[in-house]
Amino acid sequence: MSNAISRRIEELSKLAPPLTAQPDLEEYWDQTLKSFSTKPLNAKRTLEETPYTYMDVYKVEYEGFDETPIYGWYLLPRYRRDEKVPCIVHFHGYGGSKGYPEEYASYLLMGFAVFAIDVRGQAGETGNLLAHEYGVAKGWVTQGILHRDTCYYKAITIDALKAFEWVSEQPEVDLTRICSAGGSQGGGIAMIAAALSDIPTIAVCHIPNMCQMDFGVLNSSSSLAEAAIFIERFPEHQDTVFETLSYYDNMNLAHRIRIPVFVTVGLKDPVTMPETIYAAYNFIESEKTIVPYPFSGHTVTGDQHRRAMDFVSEHFGRD
């Protein structure tokens, strides 16, 4: 039966806006990944005391894009069997943090490990040594935004890719079962990691940001509104800003994803708007699933989380 909801979803499923990728996008990322592949992690993990009987909690510190210490929780189910376990690499939403270990209990209950990191400079323990030589709008998005090599998005992308490198070196982790996961900003990071890293084997991207970012700058109330504020102040840099963002836009990188991807979207979301998410999703060529929520705004509901857990369980099994 056709109704307004089904027609809206059908319309979104056909979205194919012009890509904004620069001609050297592929070459740029191939060279960037190669140059950072030899950068040392300088990592350490330290066992933490917690009141939780059924999880081992480690505080992790490593280096990603620069010398900024990136902090994370590495969580293991305490009474796991001897074999290696799957691992969920988790990225939080904009302005958030890795939170508390117990926030990831559902994954531990499935017998999975978790590595949850702070995104630099936001509300966690991780600072930000990223240099910038130009003014910024409020927040973090416009830091270094006048060049692809100095911008905040490059720093957080490399930080994320290095998180997977760290996980791949842990003796408890099954390298065939690593999930890139997150919501909002974290969903966008999870998606770009799936495009640029060969370590994750599936991805869960709830209401992801970093999709069709030119449309987001123009229309969204998300963190990308900071780029709009920057352009309003410095209109002469509009083209430069959009060029920089194009290198980190999941719409332009979606074709590089080669793993199964699970995506959710709220059709009433004014932050990570459905037009932006579908624009990226429709260019993914690998196995993929998208679940639209017609009456949801910018949120990850219990149903979204449960469906994602079913997706993970389908691909990883239950330990």
Please write the tens of the pLDDT for every residue from 169-219.
Answer: 999 999 999 999 999 999 999 999 999 999 999 999 999 999 999 999 999
Q: Quick check: is 319 catalytic?
A: no
Query: How far from chain centre, in Å, is Cα 275?
Result: 18
The total of structural domains in the chain comes to: 1
Give the distance from CA 225 to its chain's centroid: 18
The residue assigned the tokens 């702070």 is 118
The answer as to whether 13 is a domain residue is no
Residue 244 falls within a domain, yes or no? no
Amino acid sitting at position 123: A
CATH number of residue 304's parent domain: 3.40.50.1820
- 184 has catalytic annotation: yes
C-alpha 63/C-alpha 69 separation (Å) is 5
Burial category of 280 from C-beta neighbours within 10 Å (exposed 0-12, middle 13-18, buried 19 and up): buried
Active site residue 30: no
Whether residue 94 is annotated as binding a ligand: the answer is: yes
- 176 by Cβ neighbours in 10 Å (0-12 / 13-18 / 19+) ranks as exposed
The whole-angstrom distance between residue 44's C-alpha and the CA centroid of its chain comes to: 23
Active-site residue identified among 206, 223, 269, 296: 269
Could you say which of 180, 184, 197, 296 is catalytic? 184
The 10s digit of each residue's pLDDT in 223-272 is 999 999 999 999 999 999 999 999 999 999 999 999 999 999 999 999 99
Q: Which domain holds residue 115?
A: 20-132+153-208+250-312
The pTM of this model reads 0.97
Q: Is pLDDT above 80 for 40? A: yes
